[in-house]
Each structure stands twice: as structure tokens, then as C-alpha cells.
Amino acid sequence: MTTEQLGPPDVTAESRPAGPAEHESVVDESTPRAGLVRRLLFGLRTRLVLWYLVLLAVAAGLTIFGTRQVLLVRLDERIDAELRQEIEELTRLADGDDPATGEPFQDDVYAIFDTFLRRNVPSRNETFLAIELATGEGLRPTTDPPYALDTDREIRAYIEGIRSPERGTFSTPMGEVDYHAVTLEAEGDPLGVFVVAIFSDLLRAETNDVVRVVSVIFGVLLVFVSFLAWGAAGRVVAPVTAVTATARRINDTDLTRRIPLGGAAETTEMAATFNAMLDRLEEALAAQRRFVDDAGHELRTPITIIRGHLELMGDDPEERRETIALVTDELDRMHRMVEDLLILAKAERPDFLALRVVDVARLTEEVFAKAQAIAPRDWRLAAAAPGRAVVDRQRITQALVQLAQNAVQHTSAGGRIAIGSFVRDHEVGFWVSDDGEGVPDGEAQRIFGRFHRGEAGRRRGEGAGLGLSIAHAIAMAHGGRIELHSPPGMGATFTVVVPVDPPSEPALVPQEP
């Protein structure tokens, strides 16, 4: 079962969207320079690329910074390990025998130092310095260090004053130097000082050079990636551009244009969603036009009748009374039609319902009592289900009264009309059943449309064909539906089925007193 929904308000000439020609004139005036520059500087494509590049630059910066810190930490660890290794090798040599003679060194400091320096070559940016304290003679490797420590008077004087193992740094013209010093002693007397020194600032400079090279490479990659990102952003923004172009070409008389589907899943979904929106809009506008045509036709008839009778009304008092009665009846019919149209229009608003927790049986009995006043029929209260539901009491009553009025129009005096309710499967249903002629199969899908009247309704000439539409709109507003059961020749049963629970939190719905 389907029903036409009230379309959007009629679009007047002053407020309707501009047509293609109007859009084209605006674009032609703004696009050539100002519009193009604005899109290049502030467009979605530019913002996407800028955000991408900013994030990539931040990630690259954090990566480079973290890499540099890790390299410096490992460099310090390597410096400590090399210093310890050289000191341990010297200590083992001093505690052992002279490799040349096989005899102990016997506290010959010079021989220990000379043997060590001949057997060990310092690595790049590393140097040794050995000083025999008795003679003040200093020994150093044959390779030239970045800076000779023994030529620096302050450093040499400091080293000669060392009397215990020591770890520290020197400041030299070549930068900071990490050193480890150890003394060779005999019976507690210091005989010599040995120093292993590493030019740590030079090693750090090499690390910084590597970081700078990596930074340059990242910069070049960033520029290269920016071009790739610009192209990729163009493909991403293309559907948005297509949506904009399609929207510019759409007006209230041409809703047939659609965006071609294709590309990535997200863009395809966006295009499909936009096309679906256009489908709904086209359907709504078509329903609006049909609704306006039907309403105009229905209202034109009573207006014509009223005008015709008023123009032909004579001076005879009896004729005037009959004309006034007829005009009043037509005006009442127009008033009911307008009221019904307002109800259908309000059904689209979120404040259409005033939900309350109501007693289903009590509501069923109240509707039954009100329906009996419509016309003399064989009214029966078939069932009043116990239980509670969250509904709008007045709107449900209005829908059921409309269904009861419809049943009256399709039954004769003395015809049976039953009203009842049920609660099951988290749903509550209110039904109206009659023993009239029923609903033909061909009309079952159309009877809920606005201004649609069945054959019996047209014969009786009562109503504007909005009653079932109102009932259907009320059921839909509750998140429910109307079910129709009409076996051939056995009457019809209309059931308003709505959820027991409200569409919001139950705690927010007040209970009826």
C-alpha cells in the first residue's frame, strides 16, 4: 500500500532556484579571474593538498628528529663502549707479559705504553695519549689526530695531575672531546697516565650531516608528492565538482539529470546518494504537482457551485433560504477539506505528535463511544486489549474516527461495524471492520492517496477523499502502518499498527493521568 506524501511548498517565482541560464551568467562573471583565484587558494582541492602536505611534513619532521635522537644516543653508547674497550685492553696488557720478551713488564711504564701504541691503531676521530710521570715524556700514536692533546698546555697539565681513573670531557678547537683516563701504579705510587679520547663533536657532526641529507631527500620527496597529491585530489574532488555542475543545471522543471557512477567506492556512494536524493526530490515535486492539481480541482467545484447559485439567487425568500443553505453546506465542505489538508501538512512536522503513555483498552473504549455518534449502525466493541502503549491519544482517535467514518460510508443503515485492539510482538493495533462491499483489488494500492474515493464514496458524494490519507499519515508519524484486509464481498478491515515503545527514550515520555 502506498500513499502520496505532501510535497514541499510551492516554489514562487521570487524564491525558486535559479535556472541554468541564470547560473551561467553568475559563473561567467565571477569565474574568469576572481573565482578561479579563489578556488585555487581556498578550494577544496587546495585544502586537501595542503592538509596532506602539512601532515606529511609533520610526520617527516618527527621522523627525522626521532632518528637523529636515536643516532645520537647510540653514538654516545658507542663512544662509551670504545673508551671502555681501550682501557680494558691497556689494563690486560699491563697485568700480563711483554709480548716481545715473554717476561713481565716489571713496572716499566714506558714499555707498556710503547707496546700498546704499536699494537693498537686508533680509529678515525680517536686518539691516545700516554704520559710517563717520572720523566714527563708523552707518547701518542703515529697517526695524526684531529687535535694533538699533548700540545695543549692546559689539557696536558690536567692529564698529568690525574691520579685515579676518570671519565670526562675536554673542550678543544675541534669541539668537545670525550675521554677516559687510567693510571698505572706501583705499590700505590702513580707511574703513568693513559688517556683514550674520542672527538665526539666530530662524530655528532657526521650524524648531523646524515640527518641533513635525509632532510633534503624528504624535501625533494615532499615536492614530488605534492604534484602527485594535487592530481589525486583532483580525482577525489571530481565527484564534488560533478555534483555542483549537476546542481547548477537542475531546476524545478528539469530533474532528470544524474551524476554518472564510477570511481572509488566512497565517490560512487556519494554520487549514488545524490542521485537518490534527486529521485526523491523529483518524486516529491511530481507529488506536489499532482496534489496541487487535485486540490485545485476539488476546491474549484464548490467555488463554482457557490458562485453560480449566488449569481442566480432571486428575491424569493424561500429561494434565498435554499441558496444560503446550499452555499453554507459547500463552505462547510471546503472548510473540512482545508482542515484535512492542514492536518496532512502538519504530519510532516516533528511536533505533530504529543506522545503519552496510554491505556490501550481505555482508549479503544473511548473511540468506540465516539464512533457510535457518527451514524446509526450495528456498532460492536469486538476487543479491548489490556496493556499500555506510548502514542498520541488525540491523533490515534482521529485516525480511528476517520476509519469509522469511512466504514459508515461503505455500509447501509443497520450494517455491522466492529472496533477492537490488540497488543502483540511490541506492537499495538487498533482496527475497524465493516461488512460493506469491501475494497476491490484494483483500488487496494490507491485508496490511501489524497482525494481518492472509491466507487461507493463517489456514489454517495460525501467527503473529499482525504480521510484514509489522514489515517495513514498519523500511523506513519507514529512509525507504524495501516494494514488492509478485504476478502472479495466480505467487507474490509483497516488496522492501525504502531510500536508500543516511542521513537525516543521512554523516560522522556510522560504518563497519562
Q: Which three cell numbers stand for residue 392?
A: 498520541
**Facing residues of 379 across strands?**
417
Can you tell me whether residue 33 is helix, strand or coil? helix
**224's grid cell:** 614530488
Kindly tell me the sign of the dihedral angle through the C-alpha atoms of 435, 441, 446, 451.
Answer: negative
Provide the grid cell at 404: 469509522
Highest mean pLDDT among 28-37, 137-146, 150-159: 150-159
Q: Is-contact 374 405, C-beta < 8 A?
A: yes
Largest CA distance in the chain: 158
Provide the pLDDT for residue 450: 62
Mean pLDDT, range 71-75, rounded to an integer: 92
Strand duo 427-434 + 175-186: pairing: unpaired
Write the pLDDT tens digit of every residue in 435-465: 888 887 766 666 776 666 555 444 444 555 6
H or E element, residue 22: helix 20-30
Q: What DSSP string runs through 234-264?
A: HHHHHHHHHHHHHHHH-BTTB----PPP-SS
| The pLDDT of residue 453 | 56
In whole angstroms, give the CA distance from residue 51 to residue 296.
55
Across 242-251, average pLDDT = 73
Does residue 342 carry a pLDDT above 80?
no
Is the pLDDT at 2 greater than 60? The verdict is no
Tracing cell 697517526 back to the chain, one arrives at: 143
Backbone angles phi, psi at 453, to 5 degrees: -125, 135
User: 446: helix, coil or strand?
Assistant: coil
Please name which of 332, 302, 463, 349 lies closest in space to residue 9, comparing C-alpha atoms: 349
DSSP string across 447-462? TTSTT---HHHHHHT-
Q: How far apart are CA 330 and CA 141, in angstroms?
A: 123
pTM over 0.85: no
Task: Tell me the average pLDDT of the chain.
Answer: 79
pLDDT of 317: 82
Domains and CATH numbers, the chain: 94-204 (3.30.450), 356-508 (3.30.565.10)
Q: Is the pLDDT confidence value at 298 over 70? A: no
pLDDT band, residue 382 (cuts 50/70/90): very high
**HSE-up (13 A, CA, CB side) for residue 22:** 7
Which is nearest to 497 in space by CA: 363, 407, 400? 400
